[in-house]
Structure 1
C-alpha cells in the first residue's frame, strides 16, 4: 500500500522534471512514509512513497525487472496488494522461466505483464493501481483493480500525461503539462445530487480518474487508449433444495480462502469491527490465522449512535483484543478540514469522520486492517433492495395508470402516509434508483444551485450502466448500479483515503474475485428473503459469526449530525462556514442559510443536504480559495498544500 506518481513527457524532457515530481510526490507522504523514491529516463519520471508491508527489505520502488536478456527492461510503481502473488510467482517461474530478485508481489505483476500481456490483469487477485514503463518500446501501461479499491488519477495535456494515487499531487504538475485548475460544473452538480463525484469525473475539469476495471496504454505525445477488462455480470444460477446448502458452503469457503490470503503480510494485521455481520465475519475468520488479533471500533457518546457495546461483545465472543475510540463533537469539527484535504474531492458521508479516528487509533497498534466493505453490494445487503417487492403491484399497471399515480402523489401534502409509495411506484426502476444517496431532488437542486442544468441529473450517470443490465432481476440491477456508483464513489474512496491518511493499509476480503464469482450467481430470493437482506450470506455465516449479530440491523458507524447541526454542537460552525465561503457563484447562500435555520427549528430534516454543501464549502476553501490551510504536520509536508 503506497502512493505512486508519474509524468510521461511529450518532448523527452523528463530529466528536467525530476525535482518537480519528487516535490509533488511528497504531498502524499502519508500514503508511504517508510521510503520515498524516484526513477527517470528521458521520457518519464516515476515517483513513489512506500508503506512497507510485504518483503520489507528488498521490494523497493520504483521497481526494475526484466527477462534474463534485458533484466531492467521495465520500471514499475504499484499501489496495493496482490494476494495470489505466491501462486503467480510459482506459475511464472515454472511455466515461463521467470527469474525473481525479491520476495514481494510487485515482481509478479511485471513478470505477468511481460509474459501474458495486458490480459495479465485478469489474473491478479487483489487491489491495485500500477504503472509499468517499457524502456524497450517506450510505452506505458496503467491499470486499476476490478472494483476500484485503489485510486488512479490521470491528466493529459500538451506537455504530457500525469498520473497518480492522489489528485493533489497531480495539481502540482498541472502547469507542467499545460492544463488549468478550472472546476467542472457538471461534476459539481453530480456531487451535489449524489454526495460524491462519480467516476471518471473529478471536480477539476482537467483531471479524470482511470475507472475501476480498466487499463490504458499510451506513448509519449499520445492520449491514453482505455479498455475495460472487467464488467460485473450477475450471471444468476437457480438454487434448488438439493443445491441450496452447497451454495452456502461455497460462499463460506470462498470467504475463508479470501481472508486467509488477505492475512498475508510481514507486519501485524488487525481488523475493524462494528456491530454488524460483515466486519464480524471477517474478524472471526481472521483470528483463525492470528490468535492475537486486535479489533477496533468507534462511536459517539450520544445514545443510539454507537455500536461499541455490540462490537465489544463480538470481540469477546471470538476471543479478540478490542480497542474502542469514542469521538466528541469538538474533535469531530476540528478534524474536518484535515479530512477533506486528504480526500482530494469532497465526499459528504459523515461516516468518514469516525473512520478517520478509528484508523488513527488502529495505526498505533497495527499497520494493516481488514474491513467488511463490499458485502452489501455483492450479497444484497441494503434495505432499499427490498423496494422492488413493495412496488411489484405497480409493475403490472399500464404506463398511463402509473403516470396517473404519480400525478395523484403530487397533489398529496408532504408527510402524508402513502405519498412516497405512490410517487416511487409511478416511476420505473431506472427513474427512481440511482444508488444509495441522493441529497437533493430536482426542485431543491434548482433552488440551491446558481447554474442548474436539468440534463446533468442522475440519469446522466446511471443510464449507461442500466443499459448493460437489461433483462436482469431488479435487485441485480440495483447492485450493478451501486458497484459503479456508491461503492467506488463513496465507500471505497473513504476507505482508501481515510486509512491512508493515517498510513494504515485497509484490505477488503469481500471484494475478492473468487468471492464475487459466487455472489454474482445468487438469485433474487437468496438476497432478499424471509424479511431480511443478504439471506444467503447470513446462512453461510451461521457457523462463523456469534448469534447476536447474525440477523442484526446494519448500522456501521452512525453519526449524530442531524442533532449536532440543530444544536450548539455544530450550528455556529455551519453558519460561519456558509458566511465565509466564496461559493456565491455556485450556491444561493441565502437558500443554504434558510435550510440551516429550518433544520435548527425542526421544520424539516435538512442534515444530509446541509452536510453535502458544507463539505463542498470546506473543500472549496482549501483547494480553490486557498484560504483554509489544514493543520497537517504528521508527515512533514511543505507549506504549500
Structure 2
C-alpha cells in the first residue's frame, strides 16, 4: 500500500523536483518505508511506499523493458501471480517479484483491458514518454482514492487532496456547491470535492491526459439480475467464494491481521482467516462498547484479540486531526473509533482485513426496507410486492406519511426506489438545511440531482427495487463514505486495510442472488448469514446490524463537550455559512433535552472543524489538543 502524487506540465526539471517532494511529503504517512520519483521535461510522478509484497524489491517508479513506460501505483492485485506467468509466456521480462510490474506489463500488453483482468484494489498512473500521455485508473469499487485537478495549465493528481496543496498552480477555494448536499448525506456527495476544481476519478473508470485534455471512460459496472440458484446451492457458492477471497486477500510478505467487531461481517472474515491477531475497540462499557462481544467471539473460536476502550476526551482532542486525514468533511460517527482502531492495530501490523462490503453486496441495511418487527406486516407487504408496479406505487403513496403501524414499512418496500431511498444517511432535509445555510450556499445540487445521476443508469431495467437501492449504495454511499474513511483513517497510521467481502468475484455471485434471499422475514442479508453460519455461533451470524456505536448523544449533553461544540458554533467566521443564532439554539436545545439533534449538530460540527483546519489554518496538520 502506498501513496501517489504528481503532475504534468512543462516547468523546468529543477523546479519540478522540489515541488514533487513537497507533495509526496504531505502523504508520507501512506508510505513511510521509502520514496521515489520520476521527472522529465513534461511530467513528474511521485511515490511513497509501504512495503507489503516483495519487501526488498518493487521500489517505485518501475519501468518497462525499454523504459518508455513508467508506473507509480497504490494498491494490491491479488491475482498478480498467474497474470505474471501469462505475461512472461508472452515475452515480457520482469525485474521484480511484486504486483506493480504486473500492472505495467499488463497495460503494455492489453492496454486499458488489463483492468478487467485485475482482482484487487488500486489507483495508479502510467506515463508514456513517447506519446506524452498519462494513463490512470481506479479499482472496480473505489477502494483506493484518486483525485485530480486541472489548474493554471497543470494537470495534477494524488491519493489525497492535501498532497496537491503545495503545488504552486493549485488554487485553494471552497466549493460552495458541496455544502448543501453534504448536510443531507453527511459525506462528500458530488463528483467535485469540497475543494473547487478538484474531482474524484469515479470507481471503475480509467482516464488519459494529453495535450491539456482529459478523457474518462468506464470499464466496470455491476449487472444485477435474478439468479435461479436454490438456497442451498447459493449458500454453498457464497461461502466458497468468501473463503477464496479471504485467502487471496491474505497474500503478503508480512503478517496480516483482522479487525473484529460484534457484527457478522468482520466476524465471518476473521473466522475464515484465522489471523494471529485481531483488534477491537469501543467506548466505556455497555451499549457503546461492542469490543466486549468481539473479545467473547475471539475466545470461542480461538483468536488472539486486542481490545481498547476510549473516552470522549480522546475523541474530541483528535477530531481535527481525523478531519485533516479525511481531506473532506465526513460526519459518520464511526470515523472516530476507526481512527483509534487503526492506531491500535498499527502498533503490531502493517495489514488488516475488515468486513466492509457485505451490507451493500448482500442487502444488510434496515433502510433497504425493514421497518417493523411484525411478521404479519412483513408477510402482507411481501405479498403486495408481487402486484403490478402501478398498484404497488399507489399503495405506497397512500401509506406515505401515515402514522399507523407498518405504514413506513409499506412505503419503503412498495414505493419506487428513486422516491423512497437516497442511501444510508439522511441528516438534514433540504428545507432544514436551507433554513440554516446562508443564501449563497443553498444553490448546490439537490438530493434528487445527486441520486438521480446514478438511478438514471438503471432506469428502464427490470431490476428489483431492492437491487436498485443496492446499486445506488455501491456508487454513492460506498465510495463517498465507507471506503473514503476506511482508506484515509487506516493509512493515517500507515496501515493497509483489505476488504475481502468487496471483491469482484464475490460481486459476481452477489449480483445474481434472488431478491427473495436478500431480505426475508427473518433478517437482512439472509443468504449471506446462512453462509456465515458455517463458521460462527448463531448469536453472531444472526445479530442485527449495529454499526460502530459512538456515544455522541451522551457527549453533546455533557457540559464539557457541549461547551466545546458551542464555542466553535459561536465563532464569528461561522456566520459566513450558517445562521449562527439558529445553530446556537440547536445545540442549546439539544443539551437541555428539548430536542435530539445530535446527528445534525455533529454534521455541522464536522464541517466547521474541517474548514477550520484547511482554510483558517491553511491545511497544516493539527496536533491533538485537550478539550478544556
Q: TM-score, normalised by structure 1?
A: 0.91
> Does the alignment pair 1:223 with 2:213?
yes
Q: Tell me the number of residue pairs that the alignment of Structure 1 and Structure 2 aligns.
A: 610
Q: Pick one of 217, 226, 231 that aligns with 1:236.
A: 226
Post-superposition CA distance 1:29-68 (Å, at most 9, x none) = 10001101221111101111110100010110112223xx
What residue is the counterpart of 2:374 in the other structure? none
Rounded Cα–Cα distance in structure 2 between residues aligned with 1:37 and 1:300: 40
CA 1:423 to 1:531, structure 2 compared with 1: closer, same or farther past 3 Å? Answer: closer
1:356 aligns with 2:339: yes
Quote how far apart the aligned CAs of 1:582 are.
Answer: 1.8
Q: Give the conservation status (yes or no) of the 8 Å contact 2:370–2:409.
A: no
- CA apart distance, 1:18: 1.3
Moved more, 570-579 or 273-282: 570-579
* Partner residue of 2:325 out of 327, 333, 342: 342
Moved more, 192-201 or 491-500: 192-201
The answer to whether structure 1 residue 251 and structure 2 residue 238 are counterparts is yes
Q: CA deviation at 1:14?
A: 4.6
Query: Equivalent residue for 1:41?
Result: 40
Residue 93 of structure 1 aligns with which residue? 88
Partner residue of 1:140?
134
2:110 paired with 1:116:
yes
Alignment match, 2:451: 462
* Mapped partners of 2:414, 2:119: distance in 1: 43
Distance change in 2, residues 1:424/1:530 (3 Å) = closer
Is the Cα–Cα contact under 8 Å of residues 300 and 326 in structure 1 kept in the other structure? yes
Alignment of 1:541 with 2:541, yes or no, is no
Deviation, structure 1 residue 631: 3.9
- The separation in 2 between residues aligned to 1:302 and 1:571, in whole angstroms, is 21
> Per the alignment, do residues 489 and 579 of structure 1 end up closer, same or farther by CA in structure 2, a change over 3 Å counting?
same
1:265-304 matches, within 5 Å, as: 265-287=252-274, 290=275, 293-304=276-287
SS in 2 for 1:162: strand
**1:154–1:208 contact (8 Å) kept in structure 2:** yes
Q: Is 1:565–1:607's contact at 8 Å kept on the other side of the alignment?
A: yes
Of residues 203, 207, 214 in structure 2, which corresponds to 1:212?
203
Q: Choose from 342, 347, 350 the match for 1:367.
A: 350
Aligned residue in 1 for 2:6: 6
Q: Look up the SS of the partner of 1:583 in the other structure.
A: helix
1:295–1:323 Cα contact (<8 Å) kept: yes
Q: Distance in 2 between matches of 1:108 and 1:421?
A: 50
For the structure 1 residues 398 and 548, does the alpha-carbon distance in structure 2 shift closer, same or farther, using more than 3 Å as the test?
A: closer
Unaligned runs of 5+ in 2: 372-377
Change (3 A) 1:246 1:402: closer
Residue 623 of structure 1 corresponds to: 614
SS in 1 for 2:75: strand
- 2:427 pairs with 1:432: no
RMSD: 2.2
Comparing 48-57 with 299-308, which one deviates more in the overlay? 299-308
Instruction: Return the TM-score normalized by structure 2.
Output: 0.93
Give, in angstroms, the shift of residue 449 of structure 1: 1.1
CA distance in 1, matches of 2:593, 2:623: 36
Query: Hey, what does 1:636 align to over in structure 2?
Result: none
Q: Quick check: 1:587 aligned with 2:592? A: no
Q: Which residue of 2 aligns with 1:602?
A: 593
Distance 2:42 2:345 in 1: 41
Q: Which residue of 1 aligns with 2:605?
A: 614
Q: Which runs of 5+ in 1 are unaligned?
A: 634-641
CA displacement at 1:357 relative to structure 2: 0.7
**1:224 partner SS:** strand
CA distance in 2: counterparts of 1:236 and 1:426, whole angstroms: 18
C-alpha separation between the residues in 1 aligned to 2:129 and 2:502?
34
Give 1:637's aligned residue.
Answer: none
Partner residue in 2 for 1:105: 99
Deviation at residue 557 of structure 1 after TM alignment? 2.0
Query: 1:419 deviation in Å?
Result: 7.8
